[in-house]
Structures are given as structure tokens and as C-alpha cells.
Structure 1
Amino acid sequence: MSFMKDFEHLQIQMKDIVSATNNFDPAKVIGRGGFGKVYKGELSLPEGPIMVAFKQLDRRFGQGNIEFWKEIMTLSKYKHENLITLMHYCIDGNEMILVYEYASRGSLDRYLSDANSVTWTQRLRICDGAARGLHFLHDPMETQQRVLHRDIKSANILLDENWTAKLSDFGLSKVGPANQEHTYLISNAIGTLGYCDPLYSELGFLSKESDVYSFGVVLFVVLCGRLCFEYTNGELSNIFVSKWRRCYEQKRLDEIILVGLKEQMDQGSLNSFSAIAYQCVKRTREERPTMAKIVKELEFSLEQQENLDNLAKKVDLDELIRIVDLALPPVSYGARNQLLVFLLEGLFVEDGETWISINMKGEVSKVLSATKCFYGDKLETKNTGPPPMSDTTINTRSRFAQYLWNVYSNRFRVEVNTQFLSPHVTYTIYIVFQHCGHFSAPCYIPFLYKLEEELHYSTSCIAYESHKTWVMTKLYRFTNYHDQRNLNIEFLPPEQIPFNDMLAFQGIEIRPTRNDEDAYEKHKGKIKIHLNLERNLSQDFGYFIK
């Protein structure tokens, strides 16, 4: 075979392999597959000894010269961080041996069922690496050949000491023309049951989307922590891919996710990961994504998860536990990340009239129900929900069970404490409300207000959209240097109340200042006022607002 000359520089002597494997000592075996046994050994090279893996061809398993040379030709031509590196080969009589870089952690399928040995973040990085390797094979940049792997599965994704994913086992691969939107080959279906594209199995019609289907099965395998098939009494009894598809469609993923893995996940990370996995295993090939899109979605999923992991390193865990332990109703959590997810989404604490959440910097935000902190002689309480027929101009759905109504009619005050707020963080205090009638954000709320210790009232600022249909306006800013601080704010209604103008008050919100300092500019371009962040600004701009 004349083409063999192109690879002569990779050939080594059998005596070197015998020495490295201690004459193929069974104790050196690290794996078995359709090609044969795989041995571990230290190969002595001119540049120094190196640990490698030796794959010994065993023709009894159905593979032979074609698969052997296909592996050499593919891996010598296509080199990528996420493809296993072929280092050497040896032919000695009937013996045919391939020599690879040593992936010290073995294959991915060994770790599927343990959520602690390989965390969700590690699984995302492994999947992202494997996707990059397959994307490289499907869309080569400097060649006119596209490689279709044909046997993508968890057992063929190897892991080095840094948990870097390496696609392996190219003996069954096919080569077709690249730089085309579609590559179709007619071939006898070969692959692993459960992972193999059903259309390829049924029709022998091979395309790059066949690899995409197999990769989608790998993604579900990683999510569910188990292989995609099950044997009973030595016979294949079940393939789970159809069930996994149904669970996604019916929003029942919690039933199949590996126990212990869900508690580690950012919800956004899970959503993007499961969505792309589902698209991969669609029955219709045209609905399956390209590997480029898969890489993009996996990177996005990983980014969201790493944001949560980075947050976990910043926060005071003991303080967050103290907050969550006050939740109503009580919540249970396992992993640290699960506790963070609860707080990122927000929860009620104490008497159910305080809402606590954190941002991605670990800074605590706090919302106090109006019924908890508003005081006055004529304050009316109403339940959250659809308003009475006479009040249909106000949508009063709130996160709290009750709100206060029509407080224009008298002087009232608000008592705010800073319990739970993060130290050394600058906060802004807002009042959250709704106008009745024709008002909409941005709008002006004609109140005068002052801190208890102040001599003069300030004019309230323009309000802008808040949670759902509520609007909010800034009152004060302060830096939280103490464990707890009590603020009393007095409100004075205007001398003349607009006809039929009533308000519903949800409460007081205290949030880190950095999150909203550009809110005026962002409000649909309607308001562009640059404000000094360190002062009570309504005094400066009150005349302008009027």
C-alpha cells in the first residue's frame, strides 16, 4: 500500500511496546472495546519517557485493516485539543497496535452516576469540549473533507487529568465533502444502539445530523446520569431516548435528572442545556441544530452556571443560611448552589410581609409590604388580586397578600429597618405604588416627604416601571455601615388632590444602587436626566419636574 509511506514516521518497534506493557500484562489493561484491549504503559522515546495508551487490534470483534488505517489517516490529519492524539502505530506480523496520548481519567461513562465526582459545572465543560471536537470534524477549515464519526457515545469521550474531553475511536468514521450545507452518504448502519440516529438505522442514510443525534443522546446521558439503554438477563430491554424526549416536552425533567445534580444547577443553565439536547434528538433531521449552534448554546449554559459558582465564592454563607431559615413557607436545600438559587429568585421571610433576594454580586435586596411599614390614621387595607368592579382602573396583583389603598387622604409615615442588608453597600430606598386613572410610567407622584430628623420636606421624583404593573420612585440613598438602622419617613399629601386620583401602595423596596443608576436613561428614551448619585435629587430637580 503506497499510502503507508506517508505515515512511516509514526511507526515504532514491537519491542518498545512489549517493554512498555510488560509483555501485555493483564494488569496493564485499562479498557476494552470493539477494536480490542487497551493497555497503559510508559513508552521510552528519545525525548524522554511518556505515559501512553496502546490499543491492540482483535479481529474477533469484527474490525480489521480498514478500521486500523482509517484511525491513522483521520487522527494524523485532523488535530484538535478535543480529539485524542495518535502518537504512533506498530505492525508486526498479524499484530496491529495504535498508540495514543494517555487520557488518565478514562471514559466519560465511568462517571455518569455520581453527581459529586463530576459536578454539573464539570459536565458542562466536558460536553462543551466534546462539542467543539465534533464541530471541528464537521466543518474543517483547511481541508475539503468532512468527517462523520458514526459512533458518538459517552464511552468514546475520554478525559485527561484536567477533565478535558477527547473524542476517540474513529475506526468507524466516514469522510465526505466539506463546505456544503449537507453531506449525505449511503452506508450500512453502524454504531451503538440507543445512540444511533433512527433514520440512519432504518434507511442507511448517513449525514452529519446523524452525529448530532448521537451527541444529543450523550447530553441526556450526562443530565440523567445513566446510559441510554438497559439490559435484562443479558438482552437489550429498554432504550430511554423516547422517554427523555417526552419528559422534556411535558416539563417533567425533574423526574429524570440525576439525584444530587439538580441542587447544583442554575435554572437558566439547565434550561439552555436541556433545550439544545432536545433539539438534537428530534426525529426530523432538518429540525436538528448544527454543531456550531450546539457549541454556542453549551457555552451559554456554562457561562450561566459559572456565574452562579462565582457568586457562591463571594457570599457569606452563614448569613444567607440565617435568612433562608426564616423563609415562609420553610424551604429545604442541599447543595450551596441550591440555597443561592432560592435567594436569586427571592423568598418571603419572617411574617410573610418581607421579600428578600440577592443579585449576582451577592448583595441583598429587601422589599417591605406597605401593611408592615406604613402607619397612619386612615390607611385602608385591601387584599391582593382582581380589584372590585369599582376599582378596575388599578391592577393590584402584588407579591404580598395585601396592599394599602387611597392614602392621599391623610398624612402618613413609613418605618424602614435595614436588617439583612449587605454591609458597606450603597442602597436606594423606593416607594412602590400604582396610580388610578390615566397615569402611567413615567409619572410624577405629588407627595412631600422627609426623614423624621429633617426640618424640611422634599418633592418626590419621577416614577418609572417596577415589578409587573407597579411603578416606583426614589426617596433616599444611604450606605449601610451598621448591622441595623431604622429610618422613619414622613409623607405629606398635596394641598389639592386631583379629582378621582387614588393610589395603591405595595410597599418600600431597598435595593443596591448600582443595579438601577441608569434606569432613567433606559426607560424607552423618554427621560434623560443625569443625576448626582450622592444626593437627594428631588430638591435639585423639583422645579424642573413640576
Structure 2
Amino acid sequence: MESFMKEFEHLKIHLEDLKKVTNSFGSKVIGVGGFGKVYEGEISHSKGRSLVAIKRLSREFGQGDPEFLKEIMMLSRYSHENLITLLGYCDEDGEKILVYEHAFNGSLDRHLSSNVLTWPQRLKICLDAAKGLEYLHDHRGTQQRILHRDIKSANILLDDNWNAKLSDMGLSKVGPANQQHTVLVTNLVGTPGYCDPQYMETYMLSKESDIYSFGVVLFEVLCGKLCFRYTNNRLEILVPLWKQSYKDKNLDQIIFKDLRPSMDPTSLETFSEIAFKCLHYSREQRPTTSLLVHKLEIALKCQERHDMKLTNVVGKYSKGEEAFFNIGKTVICYSASSFFQKIME
């Protein structure tokens, strides 16, 4: 073990320094997860000095030494702009602590039901996260393939510019990247609602298991809510309802109400189609990460073009001009007052 940890010697941070910036772990709590409490503090680390997130292992939450070591190994060996950066760790006096770059806007799950995040911002967050997953799955076969095993909105962190970064690699598994299908037989881990049904039934993990979980996140972003809720003290998974709404062409019933008025129809169609395909029961029918990234890029570009056209039209009206819209073979002209009344409906 000591020889193994020598590789990460440069990441070590002394416990006393961490106690100083967290008041001996008595304050500055910014979150709680499957690993334990997360604190905020400014400290010197492997890349300089900055405000960081300090995650302290608490045995009561179920994770332990294996996840601690896995997190250090994965995030120190694999680096990407859409993966959270590990800045240091502490392994002293029985304490297991991980130090990360600070994601100032927290995790995605906290913002699902907020009207602060526009549809274009949500698309960009999904695209960022998909790029991080594409890097882990490594479809080009240049490195070992990483299966995350716990993709969920709570594990997608957002920086001060709302850029998304995948986090929590402690449950991940490594497989060969030079195979079309990487399948590992392993114990069942993950979060209810996000887990691949085939993985739950067979204990056979594949990269497509991550794709399924990502599809659940896409629907959460679209619907503005988590994929589960408690009804009469019972856990209810919303994914089947969401899938049925898509099949029945009733997306309007589940889309987050604050998003619908500004959505470009093509953007919505592209996004919802790839999200639904991620949730296919058959692993072979689920998209690859490269296709997922491609479709999300299309959805974002369609929305950006839509918004630009709308901005140009509004610009004309601000000058008191009239603008014409072609709807089929019918040409409609709106005056400034009627146009603004129309878009506010």
C-alpha cells in the first residue's frame, strides 16, 4: 500500500491545515453526500492556493477506504475539463479527506426546479457532462475504459460559469477500451432510479449502464425534477412515466413549465429523442457517448439559432419596424405591440 501511495505523494495535505480552514470541521459545511460532509476553505494544494471543497469520510454513510483510494487513483490519473479536479488528500490519524476544486454553483440536482437555468444553459450543462463521460468511456481506445457506475444529477458539479464536471469516481470500474462492449460482472451499486435495469437483473455492468443513467439525468433536466419522489413513505420512480409520455407524444405534460415557451421545437425533438434512446432496455439500442455528444451539440445549435432569430426580430420591433413571418404559404405581419403581446402569451 505504501508503494502504491508514493505515486500520489505530491497530493498530500496535512490534517492540521485542513482543521484550520474548517474550524476543526465545525463549520463551513456546503454539502453532504455518500462519502460524508463537504466543507469549504482556502488552502494551499498541489496546484497553488485557492478556495476548495473538502470532503471528509464519515463511515456512517457507507463508503470507506476502497472508495477513498479509487477516487485518488482515478482523478489523479485521468484529467479532463469536464471532470472535477482532485487537488489533494489527507490520510492521517484515521481521517480520510479529499480536496477538490470548488464548484461554486454546487450540484445539478439543486438547480433542476429553478427558473434560473434557461433551456440553452441546461443543454450546455448536459453537453459538458456528456463530453466528460465520453472521455471516460474512451471510444477511441487510447486508454483504459472507465465505467462510472453512479451517474446522477447530484454527481454533476457546476463551476462559477455553469460549466459541468463529473464527480465522485469512488465507485468506478476499469475495463479494456479496445473492445466494442466492455462487460464486467460486479456487485450492484448505484442510486435507485438511475440504475440500468439490465445491470440490476444480471449484475453485468457495461458502458451502456452509464448511458442509461445519463438518460435519466437528461429527463430530469427536461422535467425540472429528480427522477424519484416519496409517496406515502414509499419510493416512486418517475422514469417509466417519463418514457410513456414520450411514447404517447405528451411531452408537454412533463416538461418543466418555465422552459416550454422558449424552446425551439427541433432542439426539443433532438434532445428528447436521444434521452429516450438512452433509456432503451436493450443495451445494443442505446447510443454511444460520441453519438450522445453529437446529438446534444445539434440540440444546442438549433436552440442558439432560434434565440438569435428571436433577438433579431425583437431588435426590429424596438426600432418600431414591422416584421413578417412565413407560416406555410401564409405571411403574417405583426406590429410591435401585437408581437410583444404574442410572445408574452
Q: TM above 0.5, one fold?
A: yes
Whether the aligned pair in 2 keeps the contact of 1:266 and 1:304 (CA below 8 Å) is yes
- What residue number does 2:12 align with? 11
Q: CA deviation at 1:223?
A: 0.2
- Cα distance between partner residues in 1 of 2:16 and 2:153: 33
Residues 46-83 of structure 1: per-residue CA shift (max 9 Å, x gap): 98631000000111221111100000110011100000
SS in 2 for 1:315: helix
- What residue number does 1:74 align with? 74
- What residue number does 1:334 align with? none
Map 1:427-506 onto structure 2 (within 5 A).
none
- What residue number does 1:288 align with? 286
CA pair 25-146 structure 1, distance change in 2 beyond 3 A? same
- Cα distance between partner residues in 1 of 2:260 and 2:174: 39
- What residue number does 1:108 align with? 108
CA pair 292-181 structure 1, distance change in 2 beyond 3 A? same
SS in 2 for 1:37: strand
Q: CA deviation at 1:233?
A: 4.5
Structure richer in helix, relative to its length = 2
- What residue number does 2:128 align with? 129
SS in 1 for 2:161: coil
SS in 1 for 2:130: helix
Whether the aligned pair in 2 keeps the contact of 1:134 and 1:291 (CA below 8 Å) is yes
CA pair 345-29 structure 1, distance change in 2 beyond 3 A? farther
TM-score, normalization by structure 1: 0.58
Q: Percent identity?
A: 57
Residues 27-64 of structure 1: per-residue CA shift (max 9 Å, x gap): x1111111100001111359863100000011122111
- Cα distance between partner residues in 1 of 2:255 and 2:243: 13
Whether the aligned pair in 1 keeps the contact of 2:31 and 2:39 (CA below 8 Å) is yes
- What residue number does 2:343 align with? none
SS in 1 for 2:103: coil
Map 1:347-426 onto structure 2 (within 5 A).
355-356=331-332
CA pair 306-9 structure 1, distance change in 2 beyond 3 A? same
- Cα distance between partner residues in 2 of 1:46 and 1:152: 27
1:162 aligns with 2:143: no
SS in 1 for 2:281: coil
Amino acid at match of 1:346: I
Q: CA deviation at 1:84?
A: 0.2
In the alignment, structure 2 segments of 5+ residues that lack a partner are: 337-345
Whether the aligned pair in 2 keeps the contact of 1:150 and 1:190 (CA below 8 Å) is yes
- Cα distance between partner residues in 2 of 1:100 and 1:206: 28
Whether the aligned pair in 2 keeps the contact of 1:52 and 1:102 (CA below 8 Å) is yes
SS in 2 for 1:73: helix
Whether the aligned pair in 1 keeps the contact of 2:325 and 2:331 (CA below 8 Å) is no
- Cα distance between partner residues in 2 of 1:35 and 1:47: 24
Residues 86-144 of structure 1: per-residue CA shift (max 9 Å, x gap): 01000112101000000000000111112x30000000000000000000000176854
Amino acid at match of 1:33: G
Higher relative CO (CA 8 A, sep ≥ 6), structure 1 or 2? 2
Map 1:48-63 onto structure 2 (within 5 A).
49-63=49-63
- What residue number does 2:341 align with? none
Amino acid at match of 2:134: H
Whether the aligned pair in 1 keeps the contact of 2:193 and 2:227 (CA below 8 Å) is yes
Map 1:254-293 onto structure 2 (within 5 A).
254-293=252-291
- What residue number does 1:211 align with? 210
Whether the aligned pair in 1 keeps the contact of 2:112 and 2:220 (CA below 8 Å) is yes
- Cα distance between partner residues in 1 of 2:177 and 2:97: 30
Q: CA deviation at 1:189?
A: 1.3
- What residue number does 1:145 align with? 144
Whether the aligned pair in 2 keeps the contact of 1:196 and 1:210 (CA below 8 Å) is yes
CA pair 140-65 structure 1, distance change in 2 beyond 3 A? farther
TM-score, normalization by structure 2: 0.91
- Cα distance between partner residues in 1 of 2:35 and 2:142: 28
- Cα distance between partner residues in 1 of 2:221 and 2:36: 26
SS in 2 for 1:104: coil
CA pair 168-347 structure 1, distance change in 2 beyond 3 A? same
Tell me how many residue pairs correspond in the alignment.
335
- What residue number does 1:346 align with? 327
Amino acid at match of 2:98: L
User: How much is the aligned-residue C-alpha RMSD, in angstroms?
Assistant: 2.4
- Cα distance between partner residues in 1 of 2:282 and 2:147: 18
- What residue number does 1:196 align with? 195
Whether the aligned pair in 2 keeps the contact of 1:21 and 1:42 (CA below 8 Å) is no
Whether the aligned pair in 2 keeps the contact of 1:139 and 1:179 (CA below 8 Å) is no
- What residue number does 2:245 align with? 247
Whether the aligned pair in 1 keeps the contact of 2:11 and 2:45 (CA below 8 Å) is no
Residues 336-376 of structure 1: per-residue CA shift (max 9 Å, x gap): xxxx9xx866389xxxxx6227xxxxxx9xxxxxxxxxxxx
Moved over 6 A (4+): none
Structure richer in strand, relative to its length = 1
Amino acid at match of 2:327: G
